[in-house]
Structure formats: structure tokens, C-alpha cells
Amino acid sequence: MNYMVKHVRANLIFLALCAVMIAIALGVDPVAAQSTEPKTVADFFRLVPERYIGYDLAFREGLLGGERRGTVIDIPNGFISWDASDNPEEFEFAIFKKNNGKYLAAFSVGYDSQFPQASRFVLLSYERGRWRDVTRASLPVAYNRRLTYKLPRQGRTIEVWDENGHQPYLLTWANDRFRIKRSSVR
């Protein structure tokens, strides 16, 4: 009888170890998925690597903590912006929900002819703990550094403006991709 209990116990331990090894091989980590999966625009803003947006985590935490004037944090609408009061620095950060419940994060710094190198627009995907630049794959037209991509605080449409105040087109998020729409504003 004692032998049988030991044998069953050994089999259970072996099966449990096999299940853990299979889960690891498939990349399943339920603890990490539950604790690190971003849910809000603030979560995404904290997690995005500095190389994509140019701001370190300490600066971003300061913005989220209300330490900088000119910050708008709109969690329900998935939008964050900052307009520095003492210099021309500004940006917008927003998330767009995908059909599968995941999100696409967007970061935009508008075009300024005095600081053209500062212009930036990037679309980022976050899956399985990894960030990927999906700007080219997600846009129906090529990114143009000389345009300003105004992210929406409400809705799902990015307004695209040129330096003369003309709006050549809009980018509307629908069915996991952006669609181009010619603007009526010229």
C-alpha cells in the first residue's frame, strides 16, 4: 500500500512538472500576464520604452503624478498630453482598442518648422511583453515628418495638419486599422 501511494504521488509530481514545462514552452506565464498586462493609457505610458518616445520613466511618472503643468490625463478616453509652459515641447499619447481587446498605442509630437527634427509619430503594438513599431504596417499612407498628427482625446480619428494650417486628410481607426478620409477643411 505504501508503495502505491508513493507511485501515485510521483506520477502527480511528474505530470505537474510536465504541465509547467509545456506552459513555459508555449510562452504562457499566467502570473506575468495578470500582473503586467497594461489596461489604461497610464499603464501603457509607463511601460513604453524610452527609445520610442524620448522620455525616461522618471519624467513620465512625474507627469502622471501631476508634477508638471500643462498635462492632460484622460484615463476614460485613453489620452495623455503635455504642453510645456516654459518651452515649445509638447506631445500626445493615446491608445486605440483592437477587436481582440488589446490596444495600439500612439505617440505624436507635432511638426514645428523651427524644430523639425523633434517631429515624431509612432504607432506601437504591445504583445506578450514586447513592444513593436507598427507605424508603417498600420497607416494607409506613408508617415510624413512635416505633418502634425493630432491624436484624438475623444473618438477614433487622428487629424493630420500641414504647417500652413491645412488638413490634407484624417485617419480613422476602425476594424483594427486606420482608414484615410479626405478632409473637408482646406
Widest CA span in the chain: 88
| Residue-range domain boundaries for the chain | 1-35, 37-182
Q: Phi and psi at residue 136, in whole multiples of 5°?
A: -60, -45
Radius of gyration of the chain (CA): 22
Nearest-5° angle of CA 100, CA 104, CA 106? Answer: 165
Q: For residue range 66-117, what is the model confidence (pLDDT) as tens digits?
A: 888 889 999 999 999 998 876 678 999 999 999 999 999 999 998 887 887 8
Q: pTM value?
A: 0.78
Q: How far apart are the first and last CA of the chain?
A: 87
Asked if 155 contacts 110 with a C-beta cutoff of 8 angstroms, the reply is no
Chain-wide mean pLDDT for the chain?
84
Q: For residue range 38-72, what is the model confidence (pLDDT) as tens digits?
A: 999 999 999 999 999 999 999 999 999 988 888 99
